[in-house]
Structure 1
Amino acid sequence: MDTAVIQKDLGLPVGETIFGKTILIMGFGAIGMEIAKRLRPFGVKILATKRNWSSNTVSCDLDGLVDKKGGPEDMYELAREADIVITCMTLNNESVNSSLCSFI
């Protein structure tokens, strides 16, 4: 920090940023949607999984929010594309017994 003050580089990011990264949000419910809304301004590509993508289960317009979506069966394919994986799933028998456990 002292070096940044001396060099007057206070506004420059230090280290790695998320700009241009691909982020997978597993469990695109209310929390997953809010995370995506907050990540979008950082210039990331957002992938998301959800059990059911029907219009009555999604409370917001996905155009411009999710770049690629899939179901639980697409989890491995999407994870291979992602730089960062965020899990927002309820801990229950279905999520514990799914292939998610072998993924982590």
Structure 2
Amino acid sequence: MPDGLLVANAGGAYSPTVAEHALTMMLALIRRLPDAAIAHARQEWDRSIQRDMGSLEGRTVTMLGFGSIGVETARRLKPFGARVIAATRSASPHPLADEVVPIGDLASVLPRTDVLYACLPLGDATRGLIGRTVLDALPDHALVINVARGAVVDKTALLAALLEGRIGGAGLDVTDPEPLPADDPLWRAPNLIITPHVAGNGSAAVDQRLAAVTVDNVNRLAAGAPLTHLVTPRIMD
């Protein structure tokens, strides 16, 4: 980064909408809506989907990362009666997390995880984090949701887990690469919802939050005060 150049991001402006999108994916998969949509397209009244239907009530959602997106998601999960485990670098307690563990101890909570939810930055330590070892440690009904960056998930390992029925399903708003090529086999995987990196869109409130962050930082810059939501070179890498 050139000397003297300051870069700030949007802070938590998109977080509520991303959280809503993630929760929608969880509910759609756990209530078997993709199967219902297939039956709808065939004009079939197929009640067999009820065998595999579940509920967020009493389920455990393990979050990889617990920044503003994770917090907003936890806030929305609580009314459903879900239990939240946050796996973070600092393992700092949070009132919206029922349990917090260091990310290095993730393996200890995977066997009791019903939804594994990625909402953390991409870096050397998180690239391919959700791979064969992590997926194999999950219960076979578990869901994987990724609204972080596509490369957090090992795509080959996820595809194999879905095809072999070793997990219950997945919801991806991000893929590696983006856009996902039309001939990529991931498109044809069962129990998978893919959306084209749109989780943050669709709310007028986002624009209001973005404007507020921008105005605040412009005022801070004019006053010689520290800017908020600064992006460090390490994060940008």
Normalising to structure 1: TM-score of the pair? 0.68
Q: Partners of 2:106 and 2:114 in 1: how far apart?
A: 14
Any conservation in 2 of the 1:46–1:66 contact (CA below 8 Å)?
A: yes
Normalising to structure 2: TM-score of the pair? 0.32
Cα displacement string for residues 36-89 of structure 1 (whole angstroms, at most 9, x for unaligned residues): 11111100111111111458xxxxxx22x1111011111111111111110111
- Structure 1 letter corresponding to 2:87: T
- Aligned pair 1:93/2:129, yes or no? no
Any conservation in 2 of the 1:19–1:44 contact (CA below 8 Å)?
A: yes
Runs of 4+ in 1 over 4 A off after TM superposition: none
Counterpart residue number, 1:8: none
Greater RCO, 1 or 2 (C-alpha within 8 Å, sep 6+): 1
- Structure 1 letter corresponding to 2:97: V
Matched residues, percent identical? Answer: 28
Q: Secondary structure at the match of 1:46?
A: strand
TM-fit CA distance, 1:17: 1.5
Q: Partners of 2:105 and 2:112 in 1: how far apart?
A: 11
Higher-helix-fraction structure: 2
Q: Secondary structure at the match of 1:49?
A: strand
Any conservation in 2 of the 1:48–1:69 contact (CA below 8 Å)?
A: yes
Q: Secondary structure at the match of 2:54?
A: coil
Counterpart residue number, 1:10: none
- Runs (5+) with no aligned partner, structure 1: 1-13, 56-61
TM-fit CA distance, 1:29: 1.1
Counterpart residue number, 2:74: 36
- Structure 1 letter corresponding to 2:76: R
Q: Which has the larger radius of gyration?
A: 2
Give the CA RMSD over aligned residues: 2.1
Equivalent residue pairs, number: 83
